[in-house]
Amino acid sequence: MSEETPLLTSASHPEVIAHDRIYQRFSRARKQLILSVISLAGLLPLFVSGTFVSSIPQIAQELDTTGSVISLAISLSVFTNCIGTLVWSNYSSFCGQDGRRPIYIFSSLFLSLSSFCVANVSSVRSLLLLRVIQAFGSSSALSVGMGVIGDIYKLEERGTATGTYLGFILLGPAIAPVAGGIAAHYYSWRSIQIAICMFSGLLLVFFALFLPETSHPGTRGIDKLIDEGSRPRFVLLNPFSSLRFLRSPNILLVAVVGGLALLTDYVLLVPIAYTIGRRYNISNEALIGALFIPNGVGNLIGAYVAGRLSDKTVAKWREHRAGVWVPEDRLRVTLFGALFAVPLSLLSYGLITENVRGTPGIVLDLVCLFVHGVGLDWILSPCSSYLVDVLHSHSAEAMAANLTLRGSITSLASALVIPSVETIGLISTNTIAAMLVWVSFGILWSVIKYGDRMRAYVDVGFSTAKDN
């Protein structure tokens, strides 16, 4: 048996064709409806953590503290998302007849109630605590959504669906400051929390009415209990068990790449009121929020295009190898974003902000934000699809492990970025971030070239073409 055997299987085998029938359970229209509902949910996790960005000065003034302290609420939200994804993904993979669906319903209720409490907070301490609870409620969408996509889309369609889904996820931090800035300037920063409360309540209704169970029959942990004659019961699961997938060099390195790439989003966006805002004398929270729009538009475009290209790349290389599937082929799409789009937009943004005055400087900065949004999803979308490809039966858990490591990196960055800009300057901060992305390019190249050997080194239950 060669080191490539676990994954490199011909798609022409009869058992592969039989397995494809499981993806025909839902019509194309039904799949699009499911994707639309989970994508709306995908907006929330990073939207919740991003609503504070443009209103940090106002919140700090109202609660009599500093912007650096309030930025901790963002860091805590991001870190809590990591823990939350582990918990929700484990139970979504384990639950029975309705596995994904009740997780979405329960977490939406959790988010709705906690958002109402955040809107009525009166101290920094209670704000930080309630933001942790709120982030936990929103975090289910990050990992469970990828599990749903893996359930209903086959290999050659998965990248496009993932691109659409991740586009909405990364649209969250782009539109959150706009919404938060408008609310803060014309009403109060608290009003956006009430809006989150109402929106999550509406999503709860959508999940109850339009989201069917998507898990493949026989793959859930509770199915095994039923087969053994046990009655359904609550089972206490270890939320950290998903981290076992990080033993694989492939999964670990792809997660590190995702963290380093997403870190740059926080480097650009978290201190925007202190960079573009201060440089061009923009103090209106609504206008500061509007500065995030080009990045969000870039995310949507980049995720969709990269997703489609990764599907075509998989099909092209599979045909080139006479039907043999090498999952690392999907990662080839990421190299452009890691080598050019993301690091160069970071460096250009810093130089322009420091050296170009007036309207031309603002316009050029917005172009940099757009290019960065496109390039970021050029990395993240194929990486996420790759995780579902290689660990299809554990897609939600694999995504949770990935997001935990990624979120640990970005939560640290979001806490340090404002102090870094104020201490060593914008250009130096962005240069460090760009260099980290070039490191991620080297990592991606290594995984593409040596991925088969890495999988053979530590097999954590990788999928084959027959069960993908």
For residues 231-255, give the mean pLDDT. Answer: 82
pLDDT > 70: what percent of the chain? 89
- Token pair of 78, please? 């991001």
Task: Give the pLDDT of residue 11.
Answer: 45
Radius of gyration of the chain (CA): 22
Judge whether 72 and 80 are in contact, CB under 8 Å.
Answer: no
For residues 87-96, give the mean pLDDT. Answer: 72
For residues 405-409, give the mean pLDDT. Answer: 85
Q: Is the pLDDT of residue 216 over 80?
A: no
Strand partners, 324: 10
Judge whether 213 and 317 are in contact, CB under 8 Å.
Answer: no
| Separation between Cα atoms, residue 78 and residue 466, nearest integer Å | 36
Question: Beta-strand (E) ranges in 248-380?
Answer: none
Task: Give the pLDDT of residue 225.
Answer: 46
Q: DSSP assignment of 7-23, as one string?
A: T--BTTSHHHHHHHGGG
Judge whether 152 and 34 are in contact, CB under 8 Å.
Answer: yes
What SS3 state is found at 324?
A: strand
Distances (CA, A) of 7 to 1, 243, 378, 451, 456: 12, 21, 24, 11, 10
Judge whether 343 and 337 are in contact, CB under 8 Å.
Answer: no
- Cα 138 to its chain centre, rounded Å, is 12
Task: Give the pLDDT of residue 94.
Answer: 63
For residues 33-38, give the mean pLDDT. Answer: 91
Q: What is the pLDDT of residues 290-317, one digit of tens each?
A: 888 899 899 889 999 999 999 999 999 9
Q: Domains plus CATH for the chain? A: 25-217+241-467 (1.20.1250.20)
- Cα 444 to its chain centre, rounded Å, is 18
Q: What is the pLDDT of residues 99-129, one digit of tens each?
A: 578 889 889 998 999 999 988 888 888 888 9
DSSP type of residue 63? T
Task: Give the pLDDT of residue 228.
Answer: 47
Judge whether 262 and 410 are in contact, CB under 8 Å.
Answer: yes
Reported confidence tier of residue 15, pLDDT bands at 50, 70, 90: low
Is the Cα dihedral 439, 441, 446, 451 positive or negative?
Answer: positive
- Residue type present at position 122: S
Task: Give the pLDDT of residue 376.
Answer: 95
